[in-house]
Amino acid sequence: MNRILAALLYAVPMASTGLLVACGGDDGAVLTTSSPVLDFGEVSVGDTAAVTLRLSNAGAVEAELSVPTISGPEASSFAVVDVDWPRTVQAGGTLEVALSMTPSEPGLQLAEIAFSTGSGGALSGGGGAALAAGASLAVGLVGDAVVGGDDDDSAAGDDDDDDASGDDDDDASGDDDDGPSGPDGDGDGHLAESAGGSDCDDSDPTVNPTSYEICDGVDNDCDGDVDEEAIDAGTWHLDADSDGYGGPLLTEQGCSAPTSYVDNSDDCDDLDGAIYPGATELCNGTDDDCDGAVDNDAPAA
């Protein structure tokens, strides 16, 4: 299992990931995250890597956030760099939260960071289900802790390939890891395209050829396509009779609904536009309203 998927499977069931709504009528605060998962990549044990999470408030009022909490199997490897809390996200504004990862043991590092409103007001998740006061928005945190080389410029007594002249950048595998040099503005290990590299956005460490595509309108994996085969894509059902309800058999995956597709599979006869959930039941030997019963509640003849 790749580390992005592992983080999604861990964080998503815990809270309403990626969307936090502070109720206040239709004009409340609506917070979204830049990504459901923050990937720190490979980090040597004892080293520190930093990643920035961006929160956006699409609502009409400001939102005050309490001190975020980090939990999970390797929570101690992660930290919030910002110390000035609570923080306020203005209506229509954004807030950047700096996070760090400093692993002490090798292996997959997995945790989640949770944000909640400071007021304790009622919240609701992105799926429309009501949540109790203090409900949180969770974002997965993941990284690979690796053991680096000794890099001691010694020609003997170790497993790297330092020679007598003393060269640097050797790792524990015994291979010289000196690679192409050039600008890597976001520190994700991929050179900018302007320098002959493959990073199509050298200002964002989450965008590079090894990233996973997500539904955010960005070419995350630098393959020239946007939102294709996204790991958080939805399932859409063909609505062949255009009654607003899809059938269960023909589906497509995507970040938005293809033409003639809808987000439900509740139609029990997708070839008849008069048959759908909520339709009027008639005395015709047909389950018109898709409730599993025939001619029930039909008007008297």
Q: What is the pLDDT of residues 41-86, one digit of tens each?
A: 999 999 999 998 888 888 788 888 888 999 988 999 999 997 788 8
pTM: 0.45
Given a cut of 60, is residue 4 above it in pLDDT? no
pLDDT for the residue 131 = 31
- Looking at residue 123, its pLDDT comes to 35
Q: What is the pLDDT of residue 197?
A: 92
Whether 261 has a pLDDT exceeding 70, the answer reads: yes
Q: Which amino acid is at 165?
A: S
The span from the CA of 291 to the CA of 82, in Å, is: 53
| Nearest-angstrom CA–CA distance, 104 and 76 | 9
- pLDDT digit string (tens) for 111-155? 998 888 754 333 333 333 223 334 467 888 999 999 875 444 444
The tens digit of pLDDT for each residue in 79-105 reads 999 778 888 888 889 888 899 999 999
Q: Compute CA 96 distance to the chain's CA centroid, rounded to the nearest angstrom.
A: 16
pLDDT computed for residue 57 by the predictor? 82
Q: Does 170 have pLDDT greater than 90?
A: no
CA 219/CA 139 separation, integer angstroms: 21
Q: What is the pLDDT of residue 204?
A: 93
Rounded distance, CA 200 to CA 186, Å? Answer: 11
Q: Which CATH superfamily, name and number, covers 3-146? A: Immunoglobulins (2.60.40.10)
**Is a pLDDT exceeding 60 seen at residue 180?**
no
222-249 pLDDT, tens digit per residue, is 999 999 999 999 999 999 999 999 999 9
Task: Check pLDDT > 70 for residue 28.
Answer: no
How many other C-beta atoms lie within 10 A of the C-beta of residue 162? 21
For the segment 177-194, the average pLDDT, to the nearest whole number, is 77
pLDDT for the residue 20: 53
Q: Mean pLDDT across the chain, nearest whole number? A: 78
Per-domain boundaries in the chain:
3-146, 234-301
